[in-house]
Amino acid sequence: MLDTITSLFGGALQQPSLLLFFLLFFLFIIVAYKVVKMLVRALAIAVISGLFPIFANMFFGMSIPIDIPNVLWFAMTGVEIYFVYQILVSIGTIAEFITKPFRRGKAKKVEKVIIMEKGKDKDEKEKGRERD
């Protein structure tokens, strides 16, 4: 079995530097994917936030000036709020991971047990009458 694994990876398991290279390559792909995904979301939030003054004026009757600096301010503020949100979510995830061994087991859900349903109760009474 070990020979099969070694032949599949071309001896990468015997050379630590090559194994480290593949591990770093894999981690790079994961991190790059997450960064690109976050940047695409940030771009979408920038566009939506930049359009906020237009919708606020149209639907809520506000008098927000619609000029380039104001639209850029709303877009940048939306992206900043998004990045603060991402940082807080990351801190929460890390804190949850760190405190996981110290937490007690989750409380088990108590399931309700239905003793007799109404329809079942009637059926049993009718069967009892038929037997008598």
pLDDT at 72 over 80: yes
Count of alpha carbons within 13 angstroms of residue 87, beta-carbon side: 6
Q: How confident is the model at residue 44 (pLDDT cuts 50, 70, 90)?
A: very high
Cβ–Cβ under 8 Å, residues 78 and 46: yes
Q: Side-chain half-sphere of 117: how many Cα atoms within 13 Å?
A: 3
Tokens of 76: 């940048």
Residue 30: enclosing H or E segment and its boundaries? helix 16-59
Q: What is the pLDDT of residues 82-130, one digit of tens each?
A: 999 999 999 999 999 999 888 876 655 556 656 655 555 555 555 665 5
DSSP 8-state secondary structure symbol assigned to residue 107: P
Tens digit of each residue's pLDDT (9 = 90 or more) over 7-41 = 655 555 566 788 888 999 999 999 999 999 999 99
Residue ranges of the domains in the chain? 2-125
More confident site: 107 or 48: 48
Rounded to 5 degrees, what are φ and ψ at 106? -65, 145
The chain-wide mean pLDDT, for the chain, equals: 82
Q: Please report where in the chains the tokens 């997450």 appear, as a residue.
A: 34
| Predicted local distance difference test score (pLDDT) of residue 18 | 81
Residue tagged 């850029």 (tokens): 72
Cβ neighbour number for residue 50 with a 10 Å cutoff: 20
Q: What is the pTM (predicted TM-score) of this model?
A: 0.60
Q: Do 53 and 46 contact (CB within 8 A), yes or no?
A: no
